[in-house]
Chains A and B, each alone.
Chain A
């Protein structure tokens, strides 16, 4: 079959036949050529006006760009019509799974519904076209929005101060550890406190961040119940420890039920308590890390507050801090310079502006760690998160965690007889199964199970993480999936477990209905092909492999 015909074989839902679960044979060859292969010299999409005669005349006396700075050959960008390029990207879109198409229980990533009103808000011209260096008098709306979002995040987390600047969770970690180090330096302990403690269940970003800040990582083992081993923690804490980084609920989806003792031990040792807030969506209104004694936490706005994941970003990773870390926050900070904060909040919650209120960006903070990103952070994500928090409100935020935890525990109970559950206790928003039984008894690995799930139009759970669970399957259903979807997933998972027993080869062959089958990752790493290679003469003029696109039928 040809490339051009691919769109004609979509089912009524608009999805590629390859995802319908019923296709086979030649339907599998849905391939879209690279945009470079669609290029034809002089074809165009967008055009720009020409400069006026006056513009050329008035600038005539200015210095010319010398030949020495000019490029000799134009970059070989694709030359395509607007329709051709639109079809190209639309066809690529059809090769993706996404939340808006189907269930996406990718543990740790919180793939829940991204409300569309948030997108509407982020596209408002008054916000999207606001320049980050516009004079403060012209930017009061952007600054008020940032200030209000920070106020809400403070309430949610129990921290007295927040910076919105970090661009992602890992970036928030970097910011947090830099502040921890600045704190120790200010206390004359910068040279002695050189280690960061990280549980063995932690995200890889935690130890990687510690290294970026020049710290040595010490791994703390988990106990048999999946929590941090308090004895091992106490033994490791001491005058050379700068911080503990702990994810709570942990990557096992388990709340650290000794968290009060963990925080106390860290405080007592003089170290900084860092809570990785990746799983905050499980505990809204139930546990506030700032109130519980942590010093710093990053929020993942793209997880808990449902800004879209965008195929891998952008996210946003604001940090909340205790009062002892506040002086070290990145600059600038949006602050309310004139006006009563209580009155401004009250008015905003009622949808009113406060006459006379004036916001500024405060860069005059002498103990600040500096800037971690250009300008003020991923503002478009702030708009979405603010919209989301205001839409949900008090009751809605609590319901998010309640329903997320309810759904995860429901899946735990419905599947624990067919998949091993290494830590069989109440979970929070996600539950980690092990495929070890299927591997040992039937030679079906967790990777095979994941690939078999693909054939059901469901994105697989996170696999092989956390590292402390053999053949891990980390399932995060989120609060926005209906009971019918959860039950369907249970059916799929039980069916796969049964087939692993009766017909293991069928699982090992999966997937069979996706646009491509299992890909050779080893070859990709051995012989890296990371960019399009142009033919010697430039872009190919008429490669035989690219047919003339035909109009898709409705």
Chain B
């Protein structure tokens, strides 16, 4: 199959206009010594053949019948209207709005996205999007280095191990040292970051302290006290949040966050084996000139009509080159549009329902597991919609249940040996009472 519209006659006409006899002549500038040898690319497929191949691969995945897996990517309802909007070719087959006169749809929707993210986070300015939550967090940490002119970063061990790995990689670039502040992971412990430990870890050369709410283990961190500890050392406070939780949890802007980042996937984006997702970043207006990524601003046209443009581009790579705030160019605009349409579709009430259903089912899950005596909570204190449970031989149980199409969450022990016999179980509004019954029954049978 080919998507070229050209007939042989068209090609002849073009060759003639160019004044060459064959298309080979147009590649004569490739030195003979480095011209491509043969390659082993399979033959073209017709649409029905390529569909069959993709169906084969999709069919080789076995979607779980019941899943409590989260750990950074969450299955939520994606309202039909979200798919309808992002499927529109005017959004999906356009590019970065370099020509604002014919890009007002994209530009206004990004302005709305920025407004929504500010409103959710309680911050003053939000970027037009990043690759994902992990890279947004890494970029936020480097932004803190530029703002404070300091070259070390501290991060709570309660932030996702995946985020911490990406942060390490990004920081290795400019040679920024990363300090990890421990979390109380003991059986019956708080499962959170101790503000005193933050105070002890933060010397006067640390640019920021990064903490997650809720944290990777589902626990609610003492964010105001962590912010205070960071600020006392002259460091900025970076809050990594879960966006649906902000329907009911305190906005980071209220507890002193200087930069807020999040994985926006829960806002209307399928889990899709890890991407594409969308990274959210919000900050204070005073720091906007050090913010990475595109920004859209409102302005007027020559006739005084309101319109939107890419703005403050003097921060960006195509203008500043080696002096840019980041190398980011392509972002995740279509995924940001998914988040915008999701937040619009669910509204304040719907987002609250999502958050409350998730927490209600998490409490239901814990109550049921403990009543059946197959698992008990690892930590004390409040949790959100994900919870760490102690289960004897967690890895064995997890594998046995997977055989039966039940994914018993994530195994935190793969990254954190102290949590070897625990399961990290997530619930959302899609978790049914029957899902919980099936998990409890399956764990009872493995006992």
Contacts and interface: CB of A to CB of B under 8 A. Distances in A.
Nearest to A148: B57
A313 B331 contact: yes
Given A80-B347, A528-B297, A113 B275 contact: no
Given A100-B89, A144-B60, A519-B100, A465 B45 contact: no
Given A111-B95, A288-B37, A69 B4 contact: no
Contact of B75 (A49, A129, A171): A129
B155 to A, nearest CB: 14
A269 to B, nearest CB: 18
B320 A314 contact: no
B314 to A, nearest CB: 7
Contact of A217 (B1, B220, B321, B359): B321
B4 A399 contact: yes
Taking each of B142, B271, B296, B365, which has the highest tally of chain A beta carbons within 10 Å of its own beta carbon?
Answer: B271
Contact of B61 (A127, A377, A462): A127
A407 interface: yes
Contacts of B3: 112-113, 115, 306, 392, 479-480
A132 interface: yes
Interface string A80-101: 1010011011101111111111
Interface stretch (B17-25, B181-189, B199-207, B228-236): B17-25
B249 interface: yes
B441 to A, nearest CB: 15
A394 interface: yes
B115 interface: yes
B85 interface: yes
B133 A374 contact: yes
Interface residues on A, range: 35 or more
Given A59-B363, A139-B61, A287-B36, A100 B93 contact: yes
B417 interface: no
Contact of B101 (A54, A71, A516): A516
B297 A518 contact: no
A86 B84 contact: yes
Contact of A117 (B51, B128, B354, B356): B51
A140 B172 contact: no
A195 to B, nearest CB: 11
A291 B37 contact: yes
Q: Which 3 A-B pairs have the closest CB atoms?
A: A59-B363, A310-B334, A375-B274
Contacts of A312: 95-97, 106, 128, 294, 330-334
Of B111, B250, B322, B364, most buried by chain A (CB within 10 Å of CB) is B322
A450 interface: yes
Contact of B324 (A204, A293, A377): A204
Contacts, number: 725
A312 B5 CA distance: 26
A186 to B, nearest CB: 14
B77 A48 contact: yes
Contact of A121 (B51, B87, B331): B51
Contacts of A208: 317, 320-322, 324, 326-327
A265 B341 CA distance: 52
B399 A135 contact: yes
B429 interface: yes
A93 to B, nearest CB: 4
Contacts of A171: 131, 135, 328
Nearest to A372: B169
A435 interface: no
A155 B58 contact: no
Interface in B42-86: 42-45, 47, 49-64, 67, 69, 71-73, 75, 77, 79, 81, 84-85
A403 interface: yes
Given A44-B347, A351-B52, A70 B250 contact: yes
B250 A35 contact: no
Contacts of A379: 272-276
A65 B5 contact: no
Interface string B163-179: 10110111011110000
A75 interface: yes
Contacts of B102: 19, 95-97, 454, 459, 514-515
Contacts of A42: 349
Nearest to A425: B29
A162 B99 CA distance: 35
Interface stretch (A229-237, A319-327, A491-499, A529-537): A529-537
Interface in B360-384: 360-368, 371, 380-384
B446 interface: no
Interface string B315-359: 011111111101111111111010011011111111111101101
Contact of B346 (A35, A45, A100): A45
A335 to B, nearest CB: 16
A48 B354 contact: yes
A46 B343 CA distance: 10
Given A59-B365, A80-B344, A373-B166, 6 more contacts: A45-B79, A54-B433, A373-B134, A378-B275, A399-B2, A525-B297
A117 B34 contact: no
A76 to B, nearest CB: 5
A520 to B, nearest CB: 5
Contacts of A204: 316-321, 324, 329
Nearest to B246: A75
A514 B345 contact: no
A392 B81 contact: no
Contact of B17 (A69, A292, A410, A482): A410
A544 interface: no
Interface in A37-73: 42-49, 51-52, 54-56, 58-66, 68-72
B397 to A, nearest CB: 12
Pick from B69, B299, B366 the residue with the most CB of A within 10 Å: B299
A49 B60 CA distance: 33
B330 A170 contact: yes
B271 A205 contact: no
A86 B368 CA distance: 41
A308 interface: yes
A75 B249 CA distance: 10
Contact of B69 (A71, A122, A131, A370): A131
B288 A51 contact: no
Q: Chain B CB within 10 Å — which of A78, A259, A514 has the most?
A: A78
Contacts of A68: 224, 250
Given A97-B102, A405-B26, A524 B309 contact: yes
B94 A309 contact: yes
A374 B271 CA distance: 12
Contacts of B327: 170, 173-174, 205, 208-209, 211-212
Interface in B253-285: 254, 263, 270-277, 285
B302 to A, nearest CB: 4
B35 to A, nearest CB: 7
A70 B224 CA distance: 12
Interface stretch (A24-32, A438-446, A546-554): A24-32
Given A65-B220, A90-B88, A406-B11, A291 B34 contact: yes
A155 B42 CA distance: 10
A92 B109 contact: yes
Contacts of B306: 31
A402 B223 CA distance: 58
Contacts of A412: 18
A351 B346 contact: no
Nearest to B28: A426
Contacts of B50: 117, 121, 387, 390-391
Residue of B26, B43, B251, B334 most packed against chain A (CB within 10 A) = B26
B54 A383 contact: yes
B280 to A, nearest CB: 13
A523 interface: yes
Interface string B405-447: 0010010000000000000000001000100000000000000
